[in-house]
Amino acid sequence: MLSARTAAAASPAASLWKRGGGAGGRGDGCTSCLEVRRRAAAVTVRAAQPKRVEAVAMESAAETAEAEKEVAAEKEVAAAGGGVEDKYGEDRATEELPVTPWAFSVASGYTLLRDPHHNKGLAFTERERDAHYLRGLLPPGVVSQDLQVKKIMHNLRQYKVPLQRYVAMMDLQERNERLFYKLLIDNVEELLPVVYTPTVGEACQKYGSIFRRPQGLYVSLRDKGKVIDVLRNWPERNIQVIVVTDGERILGLGDLGCQGMGIPVGKLSLYTALGGVRPSACLPITIDVGTNNEQLLNDEFYIGLRQRRATGEEYHELMEEFMDAVKQIYGEKVLIQFEDFANHNAFDLLAKYSKSHLVFNDDIQGTASVVLAGLLSSLKVVGGTLAEHTYLFLGAGEAGTGIAELIALEISKQTNAPIEECRKKVFLVDSKGLIVSSRKNSLQPFKTSWAHEREPVTTLLDAIKSIRPTVLIGTSGVGRAFTKEVIEAMASFNERPVIFSLSNPTSHSECTAEEAYKWTQGRAVFASGSPFDPVEYDGKIRVPGQANNAYIFPGFGLGVVISGAIRVHEDMLLAASETLAAQATQENFDKGSIFPPFTNIRKISALIAASVAAKAYELGLATRLPRPRDLEKYAESCMYTPVYRSYR
């Protein structure tokens, strides 16, 4: 394998080596290998002619001047990634440029085949096999990336069990990163349910049994006092997005402890595949404070701490140390997405850190944004304005109250009415019945805004009869809670009842698409959290829409990154919702869906990123200056592309 010293000596970066103790030297013979690698790579990855870049020593003043021009060009290309150097050649702006497969030295031979960032398998060309000592380590056949995708899709389709497909996909990600993302991007509608909900729920439940290689960082109570050292163990420094969970409320499955890592891993796969955030800039993290799941505590294959879940001061001290360490290591412009925290922690953490960190809770804010987009889109089918409809929720947790608040904010924005008045259009039912003012003293703080002056009722059906809502939204996590009587009641006074059954996974959905269409005689405007197959009713095929957070958070994250935003503002969420709603067409409505197809998701994410970034600049929260003239084109140029690069 070519060492960093040898590689540097063969390039213009050779001057980086300082011998002896002369000026600029360290006195120990040379600068550090890591520094040479970083700076040498910066010289070799250039915005130059893509056909050939020769590494030669620059001796004349003319050559030095030319090099300075190229370095300036490099900086311009690097800026396309939000100002972070594109050292792996991941962005669309550098797609045609040849790159050097740097690891801690130039990766070659057996090491190169085991490096998921650079491995291409049988797609290494004859020239690359000679240049990087791969001759004999691979069969002689050379195949294209497209043929590799075709073969893997053929193999995946042989599996009858979704979890087997999930394991195969994770194995691919660990050995060939670009092929994994190429596969996912090209087959997003088929593979999205594999790498994320609903299959990821089963994967988390069985994570200890299927665990192979660690993905991401695990911060546990044992690391208290040294969390910053744990973060320093991660090999990448230019992190732009972190997804973190404590595993207490994984989807609708409850406390899965350390095995909740499948959620951050899955979310960040979608940040890259759908939103174009570089995989090298993504970091999945699990905070392990124990679990109250007795089944896991007694499971010999469980991979986390075997103790009851820490609470109170002990829990919050660890979280505070973690948040401070993230800011110290990665700066204040890293987006921290809280994922699947239990209600009692989710709202507190978001409120506490939203003023000091760039934080986002997908369960509260991401879900709210995509559901609001669905409602705005559904207005084109049912008519009226957002303020003219009445909304009833089953479920008053993170998702329910988050969606309710964003609906009220959008109504306030459209009507200029006070937010307090707008909240009166929204009603919530929890496990004890309709949330009303007479219950206010016993309610959790995040529910009190929804305690209206009404007579108390204890069942959802009674609430429907009393309120007569036009929109029914389920976020309860209780499977089949929308009974035939409930849906028929909605259909009795609404020509086109809007019914959103949002709980995940599929087994926890409040009703199925077939039930919604059947019990409303095909009149329902339906969307779900997990995917449902198309339904034939009365001779017509209806394709149910999926209110999947993946429509929002990848593009939202990209917009935050490219603008250099330092805080998340509610207006940025509204901008994302409005942009997504605008992408649904009459063709989608005719098929029964109020969301655009996922086949267009990369384009949709670029549009959302542009609108989020524009709002960040408008609010004075963006730090990436000057503002790009065309934010949509800039977002597209910053997006990761998984096509194989040519190696020198």
Active site residues: 196, 267
Q: Which residues contact 173 (CB under 8 A, 6 or more apart)?
A: 116, 180, 215, 269
Task: Give every CB contact of residue 17 below 8 A, 6+ residues apart in sequence.
Answer: 5, 8, 9, 30, 31, 36
**Annotated binding residues for a divalent metal cation:** 339-340, 363
Instruction: Compute the C-alpha angle 453/447/415, nearest 5°.
Output: 65
Sign of the dihedral defined by the CA atoms of residues 501, 502, 504, 508, in that order: negative
Nearest CA among 404, 400, 402, 364 for reference residue 386: 404
Q: CA-CA distances (angstroms) from residue 292 to 14, 247, 252, 372?
A: 57, 11, 16, 34
| DSSP letter assigned to residue 526 | E
Q: For residue 421, what are the contacts with CB-CB under 8 A and spacing of at least 6?
A: 412
Per DSSP, the residues of 386-443 read GGGS-EEEE--SHHHHHHHHHHHHHHHHHH---HHHHGGGEEEEETTEE-BGGGGGGS
CA 77 to chain centre: 25
628: DSSP letter: P
* Integer CA distances (angstroms), 53 to 15, 77, 132, 628, in order: 18, 16, 17, 29
Q: HSE, CB side, 13 Å, CA atoms: give it for residue 472.
A: 30
The answer to whether 419 and 409 have CB atoms below 8 angstroms apart is: yes
Question: What are the φ/ψ torsions at residue 525 (nearest 5 degrees)?
Answer: -100, 105
Nearest Cα neighbor of 524 from 550, 563, 492, 554 is 492
User: For residue 388, what are its two tokens?
Assistant: 């003219």
CA distance 9 to 84: 26
Sequence-separated (6 or more) residues with CB below 8 Å from residue 535: 513, 514, 517, 541, 542, 544, 592
228 vs 304: CA distance, rounded Å: 20
Q: Give CA separation, 512 vs 266, 456, 545, in Å.
A: 24, 29, 12
The gap from C-alpha 121 to its chain's centroid, in whole angstroms, comes to 27
For residues 513 and 175, give the distance between their C-alpha atoms in angstroms, rounded to a whole number. Answer: 38
| Spatial distance between the Cα atoms of 420 and 449, rounded to a whole number of angstroms | 8
Cα torsion 15, 16, 22, 23: sign: positive
The SS3 call for residue 527 is strand
DSSP per residue, 222-269: GGTT-HHHHHHTSS-----EEEEE-SSS-TTS---GGGGGHHHHHHHH
Question: Which amino acid appears at position 478 of this protein?
Answer: V
End-to-end CA distance of the chain: 14
DSSP string, 323-373: HHHHHHHH-TTSEEEE-S--HHHHHHHHHHHTTTS-EEEIIIIIHHHHHHH
- Are 619 and 569 contacting, i.e. CB atoms less than 8 angstroms apart? yes
Annotated binding site for (S)-malate: 249, 504, 548
